[in-house]
A and B are shown apart, each in its own frame.
Chain A
Amino acid sequence: MSLLRATDVSKSYGDLEVLHGVTFDIESGQVKAIIGPSGSGKSTLLRCLALLEEPDRGAVTLGDAPPGPGEVGMVFQRFNLFQNMSALDNVMCGLVEVRRLEKSEARQQARAFLDRVGLADKGAQFPDELSGGQQQRVAIARALVMRPKAMLFDEPTSALDIELVREVLDVIESLAREGMTMVVVTHEMRFAQHVASSVLMMDEGRIVEEAPPDQFFSAPKEERTQRFLSLVE
């Protein structure tokens, strides 16, 4: 039974068709890694799944209805933390503004989630005062606190200095162990190989190939996948 599903989704920007009738689905508890060259439509697909972008054709469903507010969490390449709020306020914001919780209750839950990403002592810091890795972990806590049914990660470590990549991947891996349903666009091939239940290759607005990681990396079927893998390795 699929949890999150995009059916025959197409999206154009002006004359440029970026997604050509993509069908994608993910079951509860699965982790899917998406790889592919820059400009192939990976971010656009994720934005459609998070309802940040309205598809021109096709539909996105969570269970059997469109996702509700905060039900699909999104983590961005450049963190996008609210610059005018402390780490704690960033995490609280959705609970107060969307879930309409009391401030004290929201603060308590936000603290617990900051602790969950190992930043219990950074609640008072502002985004400018945190390292990239810390900012991305706050961003993950901000999405998680909404209790999403699925999490989407758009190249969550691409903007990070190399020594900060691990702390973010560790958080994502621990989520995978807890059974969180996740779609991760990534260039971290080792991460894809070890954590994903399946790996997808996207190119020119289409899903070219999907396979379990062992098969995907050792014996890719499509010529385009082979070419891409030989370039990144």
Chain B
Amino acid sequence: MLASFDTHLFWQALSSGPYWRGALTALELTAVALSTALIIGFFVALGVLSQRRWVRGFAWSYNWLFRATPTLLQLYFVWDVLPTLWHGFAGSWFTPFMAAWIALSLNEAAYLSEIIRSGLMSVDPGQELAGRALGMSHRSILRRVIMPQAIRIAIPPIGNEFITLLKLTSLASIISLHELLTASTQLTAAKFEYTEPLLAALVYYLVIVSVLMAIQARLERKFTWTSNRRGRRVAPPAMPAVSHDAR
């Protein structure tokens, strides 16, 4: 063990209320932002693939706007600027959590739409043709045939996005959201120690990501179409990674 390592402080940090609540907040924010972003991203992806020019233009502009600007700036914008533009955002419901939810969902949707779009496009066009030959409606083909297959392809990159988003929630500390990083910096300031408080935060992130990876593996198995569930592991088709440096 390190000479100066204070095991007691480490355990204290790990089991303290602010850490628990901070981790829970980070996890909640990630979950709701990712879910919202999946819905928005799905429609943006359909927009990018649309036959109509103006719909394509709108979807493209959306992605451009949210990918070309820093996430941090978007957070500040939602938190500080929105309430001055619309009084609806000045109410007490507009907490740091709400602001972070809105900003991160909008931001993440731009990245997810690309993942969903390549997922949809990588499904063999023969699948749609077969559905149309049966007389299935466009909606029905999308829901029963194309989406399940696109999801299979998109699960691994969406898992990556979850991790990215989890880490991005720490940005929300700047709009005074009490998440994990806030908990550790406050403890650092109180104890004049860095190692133990930061190490404890690190452990929380590692645990959350490990649980997520287990869930992802289960989902991948669920979307592997074989009559023998325990059977072979089918590698999903390769898919170009979406880079998320410097968000």
What is the CA–CA distance of A69 and B132 in the complex, to the nearest angstrom? 8
Let me know if A80 and B126 touch, CB within 8 A.
yes
Tell me the minimal C-beta distance from A51 to chain B in angstroms. Answer: 8
Let me know if A52 and B132 touch, CB within 8 A.
yes
Interface flag for B226 (CB, 8 Å): yes
What is the CA–CA distance of A3 and B47 in the complex, to the nearest angstrom? 41
Interface string of B148-164 (1 = CB under 8 A from A): 11001000000000000
Let me know if B225 and A69 touch, CB within 8 A.
no
* A93-B144, A124-B227, A126-B226 known; A80 vs B127 contact (CB < 8 Å): yes
Let me know if B145 and A84 touch, CB within 8 A.
yes
Residues of B within 8 A of A78 (CB): 126
What is the CA–CA distance of A97 and B132 in the complex, to the nearest angstrom? 11
Interface flag for B136 (CB, 8 Å): yes
What is the CA–CA distance of A69 and B126 in the complex, to the nearest angstrom? 18
User: What total count of A-B pairs have CB within 8 Å?
Assistant: 78
Residues of B within 8 A of A68 (CB): 135
Interface flag for B235 (CB, 8 Å): no
Residues of A within 8 A of B234 (CB): 128
Residues of B within 8 A of A98 (CB): 134-136, 140
Let me know if B145 and A82 touch, CB within 8 A.
yes
Let me know if B132 and A93 touch, CB within 8 A.
no
State how many residues of chain A have any CB contact under 8 Å with chain B. 31
Q: Chain B binding site: helix, strand, loop or mixed by DSSP?
A: helix
Interface flag for A24 (CB, 8 Å): no
Tell me the minimal C-beta distance from A80 to chain B in angstroms. Answer: 4
Q: Which residue of A lies closest to B141 (CB)?
A: A97
* A82-B127, A126-B227 known; A97 vs B136 contact (CB < 8 Å): yes
What is the CA–CA distance of A113 and B109 in the complex, to the nearest angstrom? 44
Residues of A within 8 A of B227 (CB): 86, 124-126, 129
Interface string of B97-128 (1 = CB under 8 A from A): 00000000000000000000000000010110
Tell me the minimal C-beta distance from B137 to chain A in angstroms. Answer: 8
Let me know if A80 and B129 touch, CB within 8 A.
yes
Let me know if B134 and A143 touch, CB within 8 A.
yes
Tell me the minimal C-beta distance from A43 to chain B in angstroms. Answer: 11
Interface string of A87-127 (1 = CB under 8 A from B): 00000011001100000000000000000000000001111
What is the CA–CA distance of A129 and B132 in the complex, to the nearest angstrom? 24
Let me know if B134 and A146 touch, CB within 8 A.
yes
Tell me the minimal C-beta distance from B208 to chain A in angstroms. Answer: 30
Interface flag for A230 (CB, 8 Å): no
Interface flag for A81 (CB, 8 Å): yes
Q: Which of A84, A85, A146 has the most CB of B within 10 A?
A: A84
Tell me the minimal C-beta distance from B230 to chain A in angstroms. Answer: 14
Q: Which residue of B lies closest to A127 (CB)?
A: B225
Interface flag for B130 (CB, 8 Å): yes
Tell me the minimal C-beta distance from A232 to chain B in angstroms. Answer: 26
19 residue pairs from A and B, CB less than 8 Å apart:
A50-B133, A52-B129, A69-B136, A76-B133, A78-B126, A80-B126, A80-B129, A82-B130, A82-B144, A83-B225, A84-B149, A84-B223, A85-B225, A94-B134, A94-B135, A97-B137, A124-B227, A128-B226, A139-B130
Residues of A within 8 A of B (CB): 50, 52, 68-71, 73-74, 76, 78, 80-86, 93-94, 97-98, 124-129, 139, 142-143, 146
Q: Ordered nearest first, which 9 A-B pairs have the shortest CB separation?
A: A69-B135, A80-B130, A70-B135, A94-B134, A74-B133, A80-B126, A84-B148, A126-B225, A98-B135
